[in-house]
Every structure is written in structure tokens, then in C-alpha cells.
Amino acid sequence: MKLTRRMFKSPASPMLFFAILLVATSLYAQNRMQSVLTDQRMVVIPMRSLSEIGTDIDNAMAAKQHALDRRVQADNRLKEIESAIEAKKTALKDVDRRKDDAKKGKRESELTALQIETKANQQATDLLERLKDLRKAEIEEAEVAGELADVEIKALQMENELQRKRMEYDSLSAVGVSTLTQSTVQQVLSELEVRLLKLQQDRASATQKLASKQKDIITRRMKLHEAQLKLGMPRA
């Protein structure tokens, strides 16, 4: 509406002017707010370049391979420990047999030495059992790390798709496509955002699970180290 000098000559003109100004300001604020709410940039998931996401995907794939390698290594160490435990059990059986012979022959000195040997073998076996549990925990940790990497890759791939669709929407908006087409693309973006957020939730849960496994491993290692130092035995 065009304001002229004539409108200010009557007593009501100032009031009318301020009323018009107030309405105009209100409409501008509403239009501005609507623009903000419908702006595709105003989303909870930040914009990132495809190259940055691609680098993260490569890193996640490398982390998955590293987890697989650690899983194999821990499994091999577990088999070694299990073999050592079996060897100790066989040794204990042999000592028991020799103790029986010493008892029958009333060889007290030999029996005493064999009893000491039995105790040492039992302590070594106990340490090996602790180490066996540690290796199992390392296997579980590597498996969880692999699961986290899988979720990370899925989330990043979904984010990559979201960013591509955002760029596609930007290009469509630039050429002035129909409102229906824009609405369809917006629905696609919203669905991708929901799915990405769900994957990010899964990633957060997997991260917490991995942290718990890593904490358990550290606790086991500390206790095993203390037991080895207490017995004065070499660390396995």
C-alpha cells in the first residue's frame, strides 16, 4: 500500500500509519519464519561434502579390516593358550603318578619336591586360565569393533545418499520445478534423515558396547599382571 502526505493531514492518519506499519512488520516476521522453517538447510543433520564422507567411509572400512585381523590374532593366541593348558594338565597328571610312587616307596624328600612342583604347576595353570579368559574377551572386543565398523559404514553411506539428494533438490529448486516435485523430494529427504538418525543411534549404542568391552579387557589385564608379579612368573 502506498502512503501519501494526504494521509497524514487527518487526526487519524498517524494511528493508521502505525497500524499499517505493525501489520507489515507482522507479515514480514511470519514470512521470514516460514522461510526459515521450510529452508532445506535448517535440518538437524549438518551439510558435509561427499569427499569428506567418502574419506570417512574409507577409514571405517579400514577399521573393519583391522578388527577382523585382531579377531584372527586373538583366536590364534587363544588356541596357543588352550594347548598350553592341556600341556600343564598332562604334566600335573604325571606329577600325581610320581607322587603315588613316592608314597608307596616312602621317599619323603621326593614326595615333598613333587608336592611343590604340583603347586607351581597349579599356579601356572591358574594364570593360563586367566589368560584364556582374557583372549576370549579380546575376541569379543574385536567382534564388537567389527560390528561398530559395519554400522559406521552403513550410516556414512546413508549420509552420502542424503547429501546427494540435497544437492539434487538444490538443482531442482534453481530451475523452478513444480511444487509437487519439490514436495516429493522433500519427503525423500525427510525419510533419509530419519533412517540416518536411526543408524546414528545404532552407532552410538555400538560405541558404548565397545567401550564396555575395552574396559573389561583392561581390568583383566591389570589383574593378570598383578597375579604374575605376585608369583614372580614370566608374563605369558
- Whether residue 207 is contained in a domain is answered as yes
- Whether residue 150 is contained in a domain is answered as yes
The pLDDT of residue 37: 39
What is the share, in percent, of the chain residues with pLDDT greater than 90? 48
Model pLDDT for residues 159-214, shown as the tens digit of each residue: 999 999 888 877 766 656 566 666 787 888 889 999 999 999 999 999 999 999 99
Q: What is the CATH number of the domain that holds 123?
A: 1.20.1270
The pLDDT of residue 45: 85
Q: What does pTM read for this prediction?
A: 0.71
Number of domains in the chain: 1
Average pLDDT over residues 143-152: 97
Range of the domain at 95: 45-231
- Whether residue 80 is contained in a domain is answered as yes
* Residue count of the chain: 236
- Does residue 1 carry a pLDDT above 60? no
- Whether residue 38 is contained in a domain is answered as no
Measured CA distances, 168 to 29, 38, 187 (Å): 29, 17, 13
Residues 36-67: b if buried by 16+ CB within 10 A, e if exposed? eeeeeeeeeeeeeeeeebeebbeebeebbeeb
> How does residue 155 score in pLDDT terms, banded at 50, 70 and 90?
very high
Model pLDDT for residues 91-119, shown as the tens digit of each residue: 989 888 888 888 888 888 888 888 888 88
Secondary structure (DSSP) of 43-101? -SSPP--HHHHHHHHHHHHHHHHHHHHHHHHHHHHHHHHHHHHHHHHHHHHHHHHHHHH
- Whether residue 28 is contained in a domain is answered as no
d(CA 27, CA 39): 18
Specify the higher pLDDT residue, 127 or 16: 127
- Whether residue 35 is contained in a domain is answered as no
The pLDDT of residue 193: 93
Specify the higher pLDDT residue, 25 or 177: 177
Specify the higher pLDDT residue, 94 or 32: 94
Q: Which of 32-46, 107-121, 146-160, 186-200 has the lowest mean pLDDT?
A: 32-46
- Whether residue 40 is contained in a domain is answered as no
Average pLDDT, the chain: 82
The amino acid at residue 179 is: T
- Whether residue 65 is contained in a domain is answered as yes
Average pLDDT over residues 23-30: 47
The pLDDT of residue 95: 87
